[in-house]
Amino acid sequence: MNARIVSINISDKKGVRKKVVGSAFLKKNYGIESDAHASDQWHRQISLLALESIKKMQDMGLDVGPGDFAENITTEGIDLPALPVGTKIVIGQNIVVEVSQIGKVCHNRCAIYYQAGDCVMPKEGIFATVLIGGTVMKGDKIRIVLP
């Protein structure tokens, strides 16, 4: 299977599920314009989570989908947590992001954790900085460039 973007998700506040949008602009050294997590002040400009990870939670009986884990980009066909920090991800023709962190510490248990007793984002989500910006769209192909 070819790796691709299955969903783009944004929110105007932190700590909430993100809404699905058809496309978004990734701004260099910032993140997704109009998303609450975007900032030029830190290394977690965008977040990515694989559809395969979301399906694990669905298999536990949860009614969840893309954006529900507050990820900006939902992918398919890539083992995201296996990518080392420094990996470049090329999206579409020329957007380039660089993996800056694998997983995160979940200080506050989210609603999904309380429903299922677990959450995939802290273990399987990744974060990246935007090296070359552009418009990302659902269906865009993804290519991995290892460091």
pTM above 0.95, yes or no: no
Q: What is the CATH number of domain 4-145?
A: 2.40.33.20
What is the separation, in whole angstroms, between the first and last Cα of the chain? 23
Task: For residue 91, give the H/E element and its range.
Answer: strand 88-91
Sequential pLDDT tens for the chain (147 residues): 689 999 999 999 876 778 999 999 999 999 999 998 899 988 989 999 999 998 988 888 878 899 988 889 999 999 999 999 999 999 998 999 999 998 765 556 555 444 444 555 657 889 999 999 999 999 999 999 988
d(CA 74, CA 70) in angstroms, rounded, equals 10
Tokens coding 133 = 């910006």
What residue ranges do the domains of the chain occupy? 4-145
Phi-psi region of 33 (alpha: psi -120 to 50; beta: other; left: phi over 0): beta
Q: What is the pLDDT of residue 92?
A: 93
